[in-house]
């Protein structure tokens, strides 16, 4: 069974309204928790009013505003785009905003986080920009024989989720409520749905499988000036 319960439908017209109705019919069984209808309009719309009477929530959106989209999609698991055929260009920003919501179970904008076990396992984090910098550096500075068949283990930070949140709360003075999922709970979720990537990642991290290697195996020292960013710098720019 899917773990997705919160849905947003962008552009509730001919097909979107029917999809919304179907999802709303699953609310009573608990399979669906929330159906949010994204619309550009604030004027009265009978079709949307009918869906609201069936339990939908309406959210006015400006598809050209990335910030507005990210904000409106907070807490949404799945975005279904049924915008009209002449508005398909907006789907890229919609997809980008949707991708950011489910990010690792961290919803700092709303003071919530969810992760596995006790949250103390160390995990390697490296920003894409720092990975790119390191790669560009070594392939342009190391002799070929040092590159052939070599493995480079790099990390911007090696830190636990608990420590990330401790630093975040100290720096921002914002409280974050944490939901811990036991390893048994994560394993059970994967038995139900082997493609539940979110639970798979959190289980691996909780088991200590999220580090690039032993500290002595890390290659950061090959370029001491690299200075990759720490997680706290990345989440509180």
- 3-state secondary structure at position 193: coil
Give CA–CA dist 127/110, Å, rounded. Answer: 23
Answer whether 196's CB lies under 8 Å from 189's CB: yes
20, exposed or middle or buried, with CB in 10 Å at 0-12, 13-18, 19+? buried
76 or 123: CB nearest ligand NAP: 76
Half-sphere exposure of 186 (CA within 13 A, CB side): 21
CB of 80 to ligand NAP, least distance (A): 10
Which span sits near ligand NAP by CB under 6 A: 8-16, 107-115, 146-154, 207-215?
Answer: 8-16
Interface with ligand NAP (CB under 6 A), residue from 90, 115, 168, 198: 90
Which of 73, 95, 175, 162 has the alpha carbon at shortest distance from 123? 162
Task: Measure the CA dihedral 103/106/112/116, to 10°.
Answer: 110
CB of 5 to ligand NAP, least distance (A): 23
Q: What is the per-residue binding string for ligand NAP in 17-46, x denoting contact by CB under 6 A?
A: ----------------------xxx-----
Interface with ligand NAP (CB under 6 A), residue from 11, 105, 210, 228: 11
Residue 83 makes contact with ligand NAP by CB under 6 A: yes
Answer whether 37's CB lies under 8 Å from 21's CB: no
Answer whether 107's CB lies under 8 Å from 159's CB: no
Which span sits near ligand NAP by CB under 6 A: 22-30, 85-93, 131-139, 146-154?
Answer: 85-93
Q: What is the per-residue binding string for ligand NAP in 41-80, x denoting contact by CB under 6 A?
A: x---------------------x-----------------
Q: How many residues does the chain have?
A: 237
22 or 209: CB nearest ligand NAP: 22
> Which residues make up the interface to ligand NAP (CB under 6 A)?
11-16, 39-41, 63, 82-87, 90
């Amino acid at each position: 069974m899917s773990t997705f319960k919160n849905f947003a439908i962008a552009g509730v017209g001919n097909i979107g309204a029917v999809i919304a109705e179907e999802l709303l019919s699953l609310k009573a069984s608990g399979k669906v928790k929330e159906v949010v209808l994204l619309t550009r309009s604030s004027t009265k719309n009978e079709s949307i009013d009918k869906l609201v009477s069936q339990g939908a929530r309406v959210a006015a959106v400006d598809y050209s505003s990335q910030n507005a989209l990210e904000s409106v999609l907070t807490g949404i698991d799945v975005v279904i785009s049924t915008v009209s055929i002449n508005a398909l260009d907006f789907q890229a920003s919609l997809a980008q905003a949707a991708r950011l919501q489910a990010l690792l179970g961290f919803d700092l904008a709303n003071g919530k986080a969810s992760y596995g076990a006790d949250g103390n396992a160390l995990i390697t984090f490296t920003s894409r920009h720092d990975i790119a910098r390191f790669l560009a550096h070594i392939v342009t500075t190391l002799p070929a024989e040092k590159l052939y068949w070599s493995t480079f283990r790099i990390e911007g930070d090696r830190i636990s989720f608990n420590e990330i949140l401790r630093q975040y709360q100290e720096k921002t003075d914002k409280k974050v409520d944490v939901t811990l999922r036991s390893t048994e709970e994560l394993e059970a979720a994967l038995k139900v749905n082997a493609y539940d990537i979110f639970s798979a990642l959190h289980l691996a991290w909780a088991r200590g499988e999220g580090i690039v290697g032993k500290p002595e195996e890390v290659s950061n020292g090959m370029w001491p000036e690299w200075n990759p960013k720490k997680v706290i710098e990345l989440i509180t720019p």
